Structures are given as C-alpha cells and as structure tokens.
C-alpha cells in the first residue's frame, strides 16, 4: 500500500541529511577527518576539534579552556579534545590549528594568558 504522507516525511528526512552532508563535506579542510558524535546522525566532530550540526549546517562555538577544547552537546558539556584523542589518537594544539578552525573557537582566556606571560617576560603590565 502506498503511504503518501509517510513517503513525504521520508523524503524530508533524506533531504536535510543529504544537504547537511554536502555542507559538511564542502566545509572540511584538507586531511580533516570526521565522525558522528555518540551515534547522533545530526552532530559530527572533526579531527581538528570542530563540532557541527549537519541538520542546521553550522559549526558550534568551541571553548578553549586551559589546554582543552570543550563545547555543549545535548545540554551537556563535552571535552572535544578527549573525543578527538580517543577517536584518532590526536592531541589538539590550538597554536597549530588552521586559521579557519580557530574562527570557531573562543580562545579569549587562552590568548589573555599568553599576553600576560608576554607582558611579564617584557616587564610590562597589561592594561
């Protein structure tokens, strides 16, 4: 039996998924790997520490805290650094990430710490 309504919703599901995968693939940088987060077909993470929602076609803001990349997924905080290390054995170093990736990272705290170290070394005071 043909279910027109069911077919329509299946096509909608397939459409967002196909569009999202096309978006994600066009956004990936050279040698950047990706995997689904925790079995969720909407959330992906990459070997550069990016986390994206393929249904919304957007990257999540990542926080750089100390030496760890973190974000919120499904109302819970996660360590992106740990997930990347567990998936690919890669330890993410903010200073070596491509500029395109750094745009999605809030590293204000880290950059302030670097400036303070530089100021102490030079004998100046941040102001």
pLDDT tens, position by position, 86-118: 999 999 988 899 999 988 888 887 777 777 878
Q: With bands split at pLDDT 50, 70 and 90, how would you rate the model's confidence at 37?
A: very high
The pair of three-digit structure tokens given for residue 94, joined into one six-digit string: 């903010």
Residue 67 within any structural domain of the chain: yes
Instruction: Give residue-wise pLDDT tens across range 9-34.
Output: 667 778 899 999 999 999 999 999 99
Q: Report if residue 127 sits inside a domain.
A: no
Q: Looking at 50-98, list the stretches that DSSP marks H as alpha helix, in order from N- to C-terminal side.
A: 80-88
Is residue 46 included in any domain, yes or no?
A: yes
* Domains contained in the chain, number: 1
Quick one: pLDDT band at residue 75, thresholds 50, 70, 90? confident
Q: Identify the bridge partners of residue 59 per DSSP, sorted by sequence position.
A: 52
Q: Is residue 22 part of a domain?
A: yes
What is this structure's pTM? 0.75
Residue range(s) defining the domain that contains residue 98 = 4-122
1 pLDDT exceeds 50?
A: no
Q: Are 13 and 54 in contact (CB under 8 A)?
A: no
């Amino acid at each position: 039996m043909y279910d027109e309504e069911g077919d329509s919703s299946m096509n909608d599901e397939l459409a967002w998924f196909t569009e999202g995968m096309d978006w994600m693939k066009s956004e990936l940088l050279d040698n950047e790997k990706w995997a689904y987060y925790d079995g969720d077909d909407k959330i992906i993470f990459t070997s550069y520490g990016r986390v994206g929602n393929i249904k919304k076609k957007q990257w999540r803001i990542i926080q750089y805290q100390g030496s760890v990349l973190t974000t919120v997924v499904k109302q819970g905080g996660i360590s992106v650094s740990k997930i990347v290390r567990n998936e690919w054995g890669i330890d993410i170093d903010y200073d070596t990430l491509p500029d395109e990736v750094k745009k999605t990272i809030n590293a204000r705290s880290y950059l302030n710490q670097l400036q303070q170290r530089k100021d102490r070394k030079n004998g100046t005071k941040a102001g």
